[in-house]
Structure 1
Amino acid sequence: MKTKLATALMAALTISSACAFAANPFVDVPSDSWAYKSVVELADAGIIQGVDGQYFQGNRNITRYEAAEMVAKAMAHMDKASVEQRALINKLADEYADELNNLGVRVSALESRVGNVKLTGDARIRYRYQSNYTAPKMAIQDTANNYNRKDVTSGKKNDNSWDYRVRLRANAQVNDRTKVTYGLSTDSQSFASNEAANSQNNNPFTDMAKVDYNFGGNTWNLSVGRTDKYVMGNAYGLNYGDIFDRAELKYKNDNFAVTAGYGKFKMNGSDKSFAGVDKSIDGVKTGYGEIEGFFGNGSAIGVYYNDFTRAGGSYSKDSFRGDDLWGAYISYNFGSKWNLLANYENVSLSNGYKTIDGDDSANLWVAQLTYGKAIKSQPGSWSAWVEYLNVEDGAYLGGSTNSWRFDSAALNNIKSWGVGGSYVFAKNAQFNVYQSFASKWKDNKNNATDPEEQTRAEFVFSF
């Protein structure tokens, strides 16, 4: 195997046939061997080192990690290869993708191979359950000092607790600087027979369509188009974590990153969290910016800002009430397996809107402690976490969330704990489980019953 792989790698390298060969570094490769030329050139190029610096041992079977090391070094010579030769290196890189990742050749580096089109995707089967509950009337006042949100009864019943989603991704490297990404999604579809028969949202839709252009030595990136997930501040993402159309410019080096952009929130479906008004955040526009700092152990700290432009209309027509939002986060790694994430956000309300206590802004705090890391390519890897959520009434703006929590009527005016974990039971097959506990309404002047706890479990299969 070793000799054949060495020959294949040699064929993939563009090295002038007129160049002089270095002296044969291996005592067990005679000059009349059919592989002599390839072995010597590969050794001269630094692709192979042999055993003990003297022996090639061409009849010895090598491990996949040894093969991956040679492929990684061949990838470093991609700039010298022709289209056909790059295709061979790409084929070898795909074969040894997991080993290359473990060797530190990041997936992003593999995906940057020019001329490569890669198809990926995932399928999710999910269970969510929460008994019916009634949220207290703790919402926003309009300019007439009227309370516009009635008590909300919500929850997941047994007949619609199961759903599925399938997503497909196509990543095309156009040239050294430009990458195009396109994605399709079914969104979450309930297994309930009546909904499957009557839903108008069962057709797959485009949830990602963007072009990324790197320049300035890959420190600058301009991204234009639709992304499937916009997370404010790259932090916990309670306020939003869904489809977003935007233009974004980012500068990033090893120490810090600066991001600026402008875009529009999109939602597939409707949100009736506030006064029964549909699509509270759909169509809202925002200009945003973020500054982040990075540390040697993988830790990060950041501050961010969003300036919202409402979709239009009065409160009775448009329940979105945010004027602007700023936040900060810290993600700190300690030990070899521990991570602490802390996230704070402050939401300023639009003119004329105040909380039930007369405030014109609201805060939320999230803290999450995680042990371990579930890596989908490594069966047996796992993680476990515990989190605390504290959200003032009015701090959650509605719409989708990047949190595991569901039912946005239960994300405002709440204090809650949660636990969960992930386990990779087979390559690219992961099981996640989540559970809330000790949940209470933060401000409960109506003495409403505390919210029922939320349960979620899911299987995710990547391909």
Structure 2
Amino acid sequence: MKRSIVTSLTTAMLIGAASTTFAAANPFSDVPSDHWAYDAVTTLAKDGVIEGYGDATFKGSQKITRYEMAQMVAKAMAKKDVSASDKVLIEKLSAEFSDELNNLGVRVAKLEKNADNVQWHGMLRYDYGSVRYDKAPVDIYINGSKRSNKGDVKTRDNSNGYTFRLEPKAEVNDHWKVRARLDAYGDLTKDTAGSLSLKRLWAEGKYGNATYRFGRMPVGIDMDIMFDTQFSGVQAEFGKKAFTTTLNAGRFNLNSGNQYYLYGLNKNGKADSAANYQAIGFKGWAGKLNYGTAYHHLDSGVFTKMLDYGAGNDDMDTWTAKGTYHFSKNIALQGNYGHNFSADDYNTSWSAVIGYKEFENFNATNAGQWGASIAYRNIGQNVGPTPTYTSDAGTKGIALSFLMNIMPHTYTWLQYAQGKTLIGNENYKELFGRVEWQF
């Protein structure tokens, strides 16, 4: 970061210590020493970004008040000549201390006028995957082409590709912003260049404790066991961190579904690939427990075409429940459950994961941070179209995962999964590796 940013942040600290006007009205408690924001400030001090309390030192053992932090963030927000990595950190801190920033009133409002109205973030990701079956459980279609027949012996599907992503965010006014995601995919084995496409685009308005979204946006409910993708429609979210309610309504394209959904699409000529979609979800915190439950409904003839694999009728009606218990700052146990009441078979999914920094506390900011987990998963193919797990739908078994930041804003993820197919009880293995650079 340039010297001017260092000077601004240091000046903000001095203002926080000297200003009698604001200090007398300071209603905020100290930031705990184990809070991520405290760690971030300590890191900035170590890097020479923050010079301290006026004596050229930063007292790492001394707590910093939320009020002092807000003043530093306000000063940093006013600067334009800031690196991409510094912008990411400043945005995270501004979100954490939004209430304190709002209480600074006119001073912050004037600073925000100098900030860029459009912010850009993104990443470059390289993925390698190898999925191996003793016998293929289903006719497998990839991009509309058949890759293997049901019952094929020793099926292996290798992938070797990249993803380039841009995520702009534009401020419209005090309540509304427009957000988007542009993705490009390429196959390194075939030396293909991916064309940049508009993956998501939505308007987002916040009024008090309510947030409204319109457009093509993340599903935002059950991203683990059901949907790691997007839908087109409307979303309404109410509440705070302690308890939040989310409502979704719109259309969901089943082309993004697992291989069983692609089989159904191929069988019915892709006549109704976009399903009607409605959902309601609840999530919150109770002490050390982060919990959630949701109901999802999809309506499409594709499910009828999947009768060979127990889909049942034209509807998918799935109820899910999830809980993550945090034994400590870094160690947590997570359980997921989902059941599709409209499917005849393969209608239940569940998983249990014990992890170290595998959940909320892992980020790619600092080099050397690492996380690991061991999981057992049973993924019924008729429960959710696009679960987050790299393991294929229609399988059960263990998965070992390891993540590490090899340098700032760059992480690697390695996973090995082994188990059985739900259809035929055949052997299944998966190898997966990823390197991601974030900016």
TM-score normalized by the length of structure 1: 0.68
Which of 223, 228, 253 pairs up with 2:240?
Answer: 253
- The answer (yes or no) to whether the contact 2:9–2:76 under 8 Å persists in 1 is no
- The answer (yes or no) to whether the contact 1:265–1:284 under 8 Å persists in 2 is yes
- The answer (yes or no) to whether the contact 1:294–1:301 under 8 Å persists in 2 is yes
Indicate the residue corresponding to 2:56 in structure 1: 61
User: Greater RCO between the two (CA within 8 Å, min separation 6)?
Assistant: 1
Within the alignment, does 1:204 sit opposite 2:196 as a pair? yes
Indicate the residue corresponding to 1:175 in structure 2: 173
Counterparts of 2:90 and 2:138, CA distance in 1: 55
Question: How many residues are treated as equivalent by the alignment?
Answer: 379
Indicate the residue corresponding to 2:436 in structure 1: 460
Which of 390, 395, 408 pairs up with 1:427?
Answer: 408
Which of 387, 401, 409 pairs up with 1:401?
Answer: 387
Identical aligned residues as a percent: 16
Indicate the residue corresponding to 1:223 in structure 2: 213
Within the alignment, does 1:365 sit opposite 2:350 as a pair? yes
| Offset from partner CA, 1:387-426 (integer Å, 9 cap, x none) | 111234x53454x331122xxxx421x3211011100111
Indicate the residue corresponding to 1:344 in structure 2: 337
Q: Secondary structure at the match of 1:74?
A: helix
- The answer (yes or no) to whether the contact 1:75–1:89 under 8 Å persists in 2 is no
- The answer (yes or no) to whether the contact 2:416–2:430 under 8 Å persists in 1 is yes
The 5-angstrom pairing of residues 117-196 of structure 1 reads 117-136=118-137, 150-151=150-151, 155-157=155-157, 160-187=158-185, 189-193=186-190, 196=192
Which one has the largest radius of gyration? 1
| Offset from partner CA, 1:423-451 (integer Å, 9 cap, x none) | 011110001000012x023453xxx6x23
Q: 1:90 to 1:368 in 2, by over 3 A?
A: farther
2:180 alignment partner AA:
Y
Counterparts of 2:204 and 2:80, CA distance in 1: 21
Q: 1:318 to 1:123 in 2, by over 3 A?
A: farther
Counterparts of 2:162 and 2:84, CA distance in 1: 29
Q: Which moved more, 1:421-430 or 1:168-177?
A: 168-177
Counterparts of 2:305 and 2:93, CA distance in 1: 55
| Offset from partner CA, 1:69-126 (integer Å, 9 cap, x none) | 88833378x6xxxxxx996257679785576689796398899967542100011111
- The answer (yes or no) to whether the contact 1:380–1:424 under 8 Å persists in 2 is yes
Counterparts of 1:40 and 1:231, CA distance in 2: 41
Which of 275, 282, 293 pairs up with 1:291?
Answer: 282
Which of 54, 73, 84 pairs up with 2:70?
Answer: 73
The 5-angstrom pairing of residues 261-276 of structure 1 reads 261-266=248-253, 272-273=259-260, 275=263
- The answer (yes or no) to whether the contact 2:421–2:428 under 8 Å persists in 1 is no
| Offset from partner CA, 1:100-157 (integer Å, 9 cap, x none) | 689796398899967542100011111111235323479xxxxxxxxxx954678544
Q: Note the residue ranges of structure 1 that are not aligned, 5 or more in a row.
A: 11-25, 27-37, 50-55, 79-84, 139-148, 356-360
Indicate the residue corresponding to 1:18 in structure 2: none
Indicate the residue corresponding to 1:376 in structure 2: 364
Indicate the residue corresponding to 2:291 in structure 1: 301
The structure with the largest strand share of the pair is 2
Q: Note the residue ranges of structure 2 that are not aligned, 5 or more in a row.
A: 27-50, 103-111, 140-148
Indicate the residue corresponding to 2:96 in structure 1: 106
Counterparts of 2:82 and 2:65, CA distance in 1: 8
Indicate the residue corresponding to 1:328 in structure 2: 321
